Structure 1
Amino acid sequence: MNDAELYNKSNIITKTDALQCLEEYGKRIKWKNGEITVLDIGCGDGGVTMGILKKFIPDNCERLVGCDISENMVHFANKQYANDHTSFMVLNIEGDLPNKLRGTFDYVFSFYALHWIQQQEVAFANIYDLLSERGECFLVFLAHTPVFDVYRVLSRSTKWKFWMKDVERFISPYIDCLEPEKKVKQMMTSIGFTSVEVECLHKTFVYPNLDVLKGLVTSINPFEIPKDLEEDFLLDYFNVLRDLRIIDHASSNVDGPTKATFNYRLIVAKGRKALIF
């Protein structure tokens, strides 16, 4: 998950859903008067932060910060997008927060990042601590996608199980949950968030060709597959997609124009930090 340049070219599903969710739910965000600070968690290459999120942030934003666990992604984002009011930093939202960041952001966003986190309570508690009083968060992440099904299938194969021993680390903790929105809302409320709204959307995304999907699969692959086995892994990956009827079974050419149709579940969550007396 460190090929920032490839990810920048391939993550069209993240950009599409970020835009759609902000257009549909962004009007519910109560923007403060005066200068504000904004954080984007799991910013990756910075493309969504600057190309989409920034367009929805009012002009009174004094500071926009993107953070990601990947040093390569952060380096790429700073090189491409950093300016006097925008910067990117390395931060593990599942780890210990630096004290200097606690309570410093009026708004926290995250798109397509939190499903990689297994310690959900830790991550959401950290988001709460990052927010200033009455600060708001707007979070978009996956409950299920066929990508997770592919990981599980390949991890059970004799051929790939050695390289995918920790497969569940890279699968959404909500994949087997029938009503993930209820679980997320309960967790956020127990942490202290108020005005909590959580929805689980059933969505479909069609990749126009397999080249784009191949780029995304390669750029987000979390497993350390040896270089000489990468092409073989990719072939098996796409064969599983065909078995799952994601890709037309009749197509045998990974680089061909065949479309791939993904049906997935997306969680949209919003909450506010309570006023501290």
Structure 2
Amino acid sequence: MAMVLPELFAKSNRITTVITQKQLKTYNHLMKWKKNASVLEIGHGEGGNFLKSFYPYLPSDVKEYVATDISESMINYARKNSVLPWMEFGQLDIAAEQVPLEYLNRFDHIFGFFVMHMVRQPRQAFKNLLNILKEDGTIFLTFFKYIPFDVALDRLSKHPEWKQYNPENFMSPYYYSPSPREEWERDLVKAGFQVYELFEDSGIYEHVDENEYDNLFHSTCTIMPSIPENKRKRFWKIYLDSTKNGIYNYVQIRDDRKIFFTNYTMFVATARKIFAEVFLNILEHTTIDEPMDKMLKIPEWKNFGLENSISPYYYSPNPRQEWERNLYETGFRNYEFFEDNGVYEFEDEEFDKFVLSVSVVLPTIPDHKLEYFKQIFRELTRKGEKVHIQQRNGKEIVSFDYKLFTISARKS
């Protein structure tokens, strides 16, 4: 959702600066600044909130500050009116399928004030934020639990004349959820942010006057460009009246003047991009896979959970592909995968002791059947396709053909 009236918003957005100043005073200790940091701001808007609220918190050694917004008109206004020549500006849809390549792994810190509640695909946005961050980079975001105009748009979405313009698409993404907080936390985790904090900040904002209130809701009415021009005046009146609903916004009379208030609850979210590194050795098939599979087909033994002793992809035609898919889907995008084939030799009873020691199913076998189970199991392990038995210097040598996967992976 993009706002398209920068001049009007610049005149009426006092609410964002007042609340942001309050929140930064409370939560600025969470901003762990890196030296010579590269900083990105999403939802920069027309630039007023940054200059009045956030700029005082910027360290003097910031290497770069890139201000972005989904709205071309907003970012052009910000660029034109900026008093800080070292700032960069760019148009950016943080929920796009792909972000510009020059942004990937570039920023130490990302900030977004009053923006995520206007993003229709929060999880995709979080994924992009993760990809844009450097290792150990952080995000700091503030956003409404419910946007002050959600109720108005919800009512219009049920109105015969206005529902065709899909007002629900301009509401906060989890307005209809019984627990927006859980939705936001789920999105953070699913996107890859394992380390995060989410705080709630509630309050009441008092508007300067009715004119400020009307202009604020006009400038943030992102659905307006979707309404035909010949209907906009009437839509605006109905919409504005609907915002004064007594739920998020209400009016009181003080000294014969109308005083407008907005009751809000916001989330303050911080998260860090961390890396996990793993180094694993995994057998494609174990020494007991084949015998356990055979015993599963014997009625007497099939009810003791023998399948739990079999390697996870024993029945797959391509175990390597399965392991690689799991790596990728769990966030390990940078990995190396090696294969090592060989033969391992056991001497005398060493093989029998080994296969019994790795058979996690033994505790489930009743005592009166245990020795019989071991006997059958021993016979089957020695008949596997990967097992070979020979005599050497008067000793029985049992050899096992193996394929070993070696994985080195890094997860962001």
- Normalising by structure 2, we get a TM-score of 0.61
> In the superposition, relative to structure 1, how do residues 221 and 243 fare at CA in structure 2: closer, same or farther (>3 Å)?
closer
Match of 1:244 in 2: 246
Determine helix, strand or coil for the equivalent of 1:26: helix
What is the CA–CA distance in structure 1 between the aligned matches of 2:24 and 2:261, rounded to whole Å? 23
Match of 2:175 in 1: 175
Cα shift at 1:98 = 1.1
What is the CA–CA distance in structure 2 between the aligned matches of 1:100 and 1:58, rounded to whole Å? 24
> In the superposition, relative to structure 1, how do residues 268 and 230 fare at CA in structure 2: closer, same or farther (>3 Å)?
same
What is the CA–CA distance in structure 1 between the aligned matches of 2:198 and 2:89, rounded to whole Å? 28
Match of 1:92 in 2: 93
What is the CA–CA distance in structure 2 between the aligned matches of 1:29 and 1:247, rounded to whole Å? 34
Quick one: higher RCO (CA 8 Å, sep 6+), 1 or 2?
1
CA RMSD of aligned residues (A): 2.3
1:190 matches 2:190: yes
Of residues 180-189 and 17-26 in structure 1, the stretch that sits farther from structure 2 once superposed is: 180-189
Q: Contact 1:145–1:262 at 8 Å: present in 2 too?
A: no
Cα shift at 1:91 = 0.6
Cα shift at 1:104 = 0.6
Q: What is the 5 A alignment of 1:1-277? A: 1-33=3-35, 35-81=36-82, 83-95=84-96, 96-162=98-164, 164=165, 166-223=166-223, 224=225, 225-244=227-246, 246-248=249-251, 257-275=257-275
Q: Contact 1:62–1:85 at 8 Å: present in 2 too?
A: no
What is the CA–CA distance in structure 2 between the aligned matches of 1:217 and 1:201, rounded to whole Å? 21
Of residues 167-176 and 132-141 in structure 1, the stretch that sits farther from structure 2 once superposed is: 167-176
> In the superposition, relative to structure 1, how do residues 238 and 37 fare at CA in structure 2: closer, same or farther (>3 Å)?
same
What is the CA–CA distance in structure 2 between the aligned matches of 1:158 and 1:179, rounded to whole Å? 29
Determine helix, strand or coil for the equivalent of 2:144: strand
Cα shift at 1:86 = 0.4
What is the CA–CA distance in structure 1 between the aligned matches of 2:260 and 2:124, rounded to whole Å? 35
Any runs of at least 4 consecutive aligned residues in structure 1 with deviations exceeding 4 A, and if so which? none
Determine helix, strand or coil for the equivalent of 1:174: coil
Equivalent pairs, count? 270
Determine helix, strand or coil for the equivalent of 1:158: coil
Cα shift at 1:80 = 0.7
> In the superposition, relative to structure 1, how do residues 120 and 237 fare at CA in structure 2: closer, same or farther (>3 Å)?
same
What is the CA–CA distance in structure 2 between the aligned matches of 1:184 and 1:157, rounded to whole Å? 29
What is the CA–CA distance in structure 2 between the aligned matches of 1:241 and 1:169, rounded to whole Å? 17
Rg bigger for which structure? 2
Cα shift at 1:141 = 0.8
> In the superposition, relative to structure 1, how do residues 52 and 249 fare at CA in structure 2: closer, same or farther (>3 Å)?
closer
Deviations 1:136-193 (A, max 9, x none): 100011111331100111232234334x3x2222111222334333332233233322
What is the CA–CA distance in structure 2 between the aligned matches of 1:81 and 1:218, rounded to whole Å? 24
Determine helix, strand or coil for the equivalent of 2:168: helix
Q: Contact 1:42–1:69 at 8 Å: present in 2 too?
A: yes
What is the CA–CA distance in structure 1 between the aligned matches of 2:103 and 2:251, rounded to whole Å? 48
- One-letter code of the match for 1:157? H
Q: Contact 1:196–1:270 at 8 Å: present in 2 too?
A: yes
Q: What stretches of structure 1 of length at least 5 have no aligned partner?
A: 251-255
- One-letter code of the match for 2:262? F
Percent identity, please. Answer: 28
Determine helix, strand or coil for the equivalent of 1:173: coil
- One-letter code of the match for 1:43? H
- One-letter code of the match for 1:91? L
Q: Contact 1:200–1:265 at 8 Å: present in 2 too?
A: yes
> In the superposition, relative to structure 1, how do residues 248 and 40 fare at CA in structure 2: closer, same or farther (>3 Å)?
same
Deviations 1:196-253 (A, max 9, x none): 1002333222223110011111111112234443332232223223443634489xxx
Determine helix, strand or coil for the equivalent of 2:41: strand
- Normalising by structure 1, we get a TM-score of 0.89
> In the superposition, relative to structure 1, how do residues 242 and 217 fare at CA in structure 2: closer, same or farther (>3 Å)?
closer
Of residues 175-184 and 200-209 in structure 1, the stretch that sits farther from structure 2 once superposed is: 175-184
Q: What stretches of structure 2 of length at least 5 have no aligned partner?
A: 278-412
Q: Contact 2:118–2:171 at 8 Å: present in 1 too?
A: yes
> In the superposition, relative to structure 1, how do residues 30 and 55 fare at CA in structure 2: closer, same or farther (>3 Å)?
same
Q: Contact 1:39–1:67 at 8 Å: present in 2 too?
A: yes
What is the CA–CA distance in structure 1 between the aligned matches of 2:54 and 2:217, rounded to whole Å? 24
Q: Contact 1:42–1:113 at 8 Å: present in 2 too?
A: yes
Cα shift at 1:74 = 0.9
Q: Contact 1:182–1:198 at 8 Å: present in 2 too?
A: no
What is the CA–CA distance in structure 1 between the aligned matches of 2:245 and 2:105, rounded to whole Å? 48
Determine helix, strand or coil for the equivalent of 1:202: strand
